[in-house]
Amino acid sequence: MIRRWSFVLSVATLLAYLLIPLLINQIFYTHLAILIGIHAILAVSVYLMLKIGQLSLAQAGFMGIGAYASALLTRDVGIPFEAALLLAGVIPALIAGAVGPLLMRTKGVHFVLLTFAFGEVIVLTFVEWTSLFGGNNGISAIPPASILGLQLIAPSSFLILTVIMLSIILLCCHVAFAGDLGVVVEGLERNEPLQSSLGVNALAYRCLIFSGSAFIAGLSGSLYAHYLSFISPEAFGFWTTVNALILNVIGGAQFLMGPFLGALLLAPLPEIFREWVHYQRVLYGVALLLLMRGLPQGFLGLILPRLRWGNNR
Amino acid sequence: MLVQTLVIAATSSAYMMLLALGFTLIFGLMRIVNFAHGEFVMLGAYAVYVLTVVCGLNYFVAIPVAGLFAGLCGVVAERLIFRPFLGDELGAMITSLALAIILQGAVMIIFTVDQLSVPRPISGVLHFGSIYLPNDQLFVAGSSFLVVIAFHFLVHHTRLGLALRAVAQDTEIARAYGMAPSVILPLAFGIGCILAGLAGALTVPLYAVNPFMGEAALLKAFIVVVLGGLGSLPGAMIAAVVLGTTDAVISVWFSATMATLVSFVLVVIILIVKPSGLWGRA
């Protein structure tokens, strides 16, 4: 019963999130909503890794790979946006699949440290490989998104695309985790030796999740690139991943809707209080500290029945 | 060229040692991956800026004061923030991220995001025949090694050091022998932060100061500590020399980015062969 209600509530929230900016019909609110969507998608990719009990700090790097891939493929190679969007997910997923078996041998702290270093390496590559990635100047004049020949120049049309992407991603995660995958993943987190003894290839499942999360991060990168039509390396650094992590913690890191709720609450703040950006950093930090102490399940933990806080040992 | 490269290697090894020893000490005793470690380096650097440029103090007096300031901040952070997260690695990690954000934000509010610089207190070069050695780099390398030797003495030849090592090995048994973790742990955190603060203070004249300088320092500390084995002090020292030397050689002959990439690849290879790091405990 609770499951069904939370599903209905989730769909209603998503619909409201799409319709309210469309009804207000002011560019500023549409802009906020698009940013929320892009941040939420990245946060979902962090959520997937948290689901297997690992914190990956390379997610913004994967977002960057998706953004650069999508931008360069549409602008310089001239492939259509739909294909570029798909490739923006596939390329980071392949890279994650290639390094996954190496990185995923480690767990916990070592994995965090390695993904941190890996993320830095990705950003460094963007900065240093100037001939391809344009260095610190980044890439500009990225063509706008277009679906089936329809150019999505108006922010409201881009918002629809963003919400559709977010909904598909959330739905896919929901369906995947409701089935066998969810059982296996939960089992891996609770008792990996037992799962392995039952013939589950733990490493393969971990790598699958890692690739999937890179795929999602790449999609958010593509949306980001085509919305702003300009990208530069610093947008994909360590702190972008940390922000996505904060969205999870604040929204509620063990709920699929947690990252979205976190984005809904936090992503608009930097745009609304532009003058106060520095104070906001301090505020973010303090909020994070207080939440870790007082409300480890995030805001969704207040509303929904208390669940096991998976990662606490 | 060879001798110059060696001096750069020594400077960079010594700097990495300072960064990594504090980081690994904190992890070894408390299992806390301190993502704010780079921010303590930044605190040391800004403290020197305030003491010398704003207050007009002598640079050489400012160095130890800056180190102690960072250490004091560390003790306060341990008592106020990290205490409830002992034994919760992920929670402590997120908490340290929060601390890093707060410190960065505070520095941005006070000093803005602009680059600040401290005038170089040491200039000139030493030259033997055809070999020229910059004095400021020699000073950084020399004083860092002195700090490392002092730290080594503290850990291996004092009662406090014995207590630190005992708590790192087994907190419960150390407690049974009368070593109170509630005293030892903040002290250890403070000592780790003093090392970080000194690293920042010593290198201020070489590099500029800005609120984002902590990230590069953190990356260096990470790579060294993972290579040496998390929590291992001798591992951190040896890994700092290995990585400092490769870093210097590759930076001189190719580029700094190449150096970072190579050290990353090195660390990944070693972790695959021996996941606990070169000198880590399993």
Q: Do A128 and B255 touch (CB under 8 A)?
A: yes
Residue boundaries of the structural domains of chain A: 2-236
Least CB–CB distance from A124: residue in B33, B257, B267: B257
Please indicate if any CB of chain B lies within 8 Å of the CB of A282: yes
* Chain A residues with beta carbon closer than 8 angstroms to that of B269: none
- Spatial contact of B193 and B204, defined as CB atoms under 8 Å apart: no
Structural domain tally of chain B?
1
Distance separating alpha carbons of residues A102 and A96, to the nearest angstrom: 10
Q: How far is CA B210 from CA A196, B99, B200, B282, in A?
A: 48, 17, 11, 38
Please indicate if any CB of chain B lies within 8 Å of the CB of A285: yes
* Chain A residues with beta carbon closer than 8 angstroms to that of B99: 285, 289
Please indicate if any CB of chain A lies within 8 Å of the CB of B162: no
pLDDT tens track for A88-136: 999 999 999 999 888 888 777 888 888 988 898 899 889 888 888 988 8
ipTM over 0.85: no
Please tell me the distance in Å from B242's CA to the nearest CA on chain A.
18
- DSSP secondary structure, A194-229, as one string: HHHHTT--HHHHHHHHHHHHHHHHHHHHHHHHHHHS
pLDDT tens track for A43-88: 999 999 988 888 899 999 999 999 999 999 998 898 999 999 999 9
Burial of residue A74 (number of CB atoms within 10 Å: 0-12, 13-18, 19+): buried
Both tokens assigned to A149: 């020949």
List CB contacts of A183: < 8 A, sequence separation 6 or more. Answer: none
Q: Do B264 and A249 touch (CB under 8 A)?
A: no
With respect to residue B66, please indicate whether it lies within any of the assigned structural domains.
yes
Q: What confidence tier does A285 reach under pLDDT thresholds 50, 70, 90?
A: confident
Between chain A and chain B, the number of residue pairs with CB atoms below 8 A apart is 113
**Per-residue model confidence (pLDDT) at position A293:** 79
- Is the CA virtual torsion A200, A204, A208, A210 positive or negative? positive
Distance separating alpha carbons of residues A152 and A155, to the nearest angstrom: 7
A151 φ, ψ (degrees, to nearest 5):
-80, 130
What does the radius of gyration of chain B's CA atoms come to, in whole angstroms?
Answer: 18
Q: Domain residues for B108?
A: 2-214
The amino acid that residue B273 corresponds to is V
Would you say residue A5 has pLDDT above 60?
yes
Average pLDDT value for residue range B204-219: 87
* Chain B residues with beta carbon closer than 8 angstroms to that of A249: 94
Q: Between A216 and A15, where is the model more confident?
A: A216
pLDDT tens track for B251-264: 888 887 788 888 87
Q: Percent of chain A scored above 90 by pLDDT? A: 33
Average pLDDT value for residue range B200-217: 88
Q: What confidence tier does A310 reach under pLDDT thresholds 50, 70, 90?
A: very low
* Chain A residues with beta carbon closer than 8 angstroms to that of B278: none
Average pLDDT value for residue range B114-140: 81
**Per-residue model confidence (pLDDT) at position B248:** 87
**Per-residue model confidence (pLDDT) at position A297:** 65
Please indicate if any CB of chain A lies within 8 Å of the CB of B86: no
Q: Between A219 and A10, where is the model more confident?
A: A219
Distance separating alpha carbons of residues A249 and A261, to the nearest angstrom: 10
* Closest by CA position to A177, among listed A2, A3, A296: A3
> Strands (DSSP E) along chain A, which ranges?
146-147, 150-151
* Chain A residues with beta carbon closer than 8 angstroms to that of B81: 289
